Amino acid sequence: MTAATGWADIGCMIRYSAFAGMMTGNSLFATVNLSVWNWQAALFYFSVLAFYSIGVGAYHVIDLALGTRSTATAIAPVIFLLFLLCDGTDLLISYHHTWAQVRYERILHPLISIG
């Protein structure tokens, strides 16, 4: 399990310049960019942190609502669709690569990271 988390973090760091599993690195990057007045990068990392927190909160609410039923199997299709949405937008953006779309990608991917 730890190896899979590390693999996901490396892949996301290379591809999106953000960590997937542990938010410590994203917190560090947010504060470092904030300290050097790089507002755009700081906002990106703070948005990753915010949407990760929203995802954790949503999972907890759903877990409480389902009671004894399995939360993982109830949420798995939603997570799968979020992964498809992320990969689909990444494919479209890389195919039609313009500077404006790269900015759009940096906004869209943290939103999708709720999953």
Residue 39 lies in domain: 2-112
pTM of the model: 0.65
Cα→Cα distances 40→1, 45, 47, Å: 33, 9, 11
- Lowest pLDDT segment from 3-12, 63-72, 73-82: 3-12
Contacts of 18 (CB under 8 A, 6+ apart): 12, 25, 26, 29, 44, 45, 48, 109, 110
Residue 1's pLDDT band, with cuts at 50, 70 and 90, is low
Mean pLDDT of 31-54: 90
Structure tokens of 84?
């498809």
In whole numbers, what is the pLDDT of the chain averaged over residues?
Answer: 77
Residue 32's pLDDT band, with cuts at 50, 70 and 90, is very high
Task: Count structural domains, the chain.
Answer: 1
Cα→Cα distances 103→15, 38, 56, Å: 14, 15, 26
Which pLDDT score is estimated for 37?
93
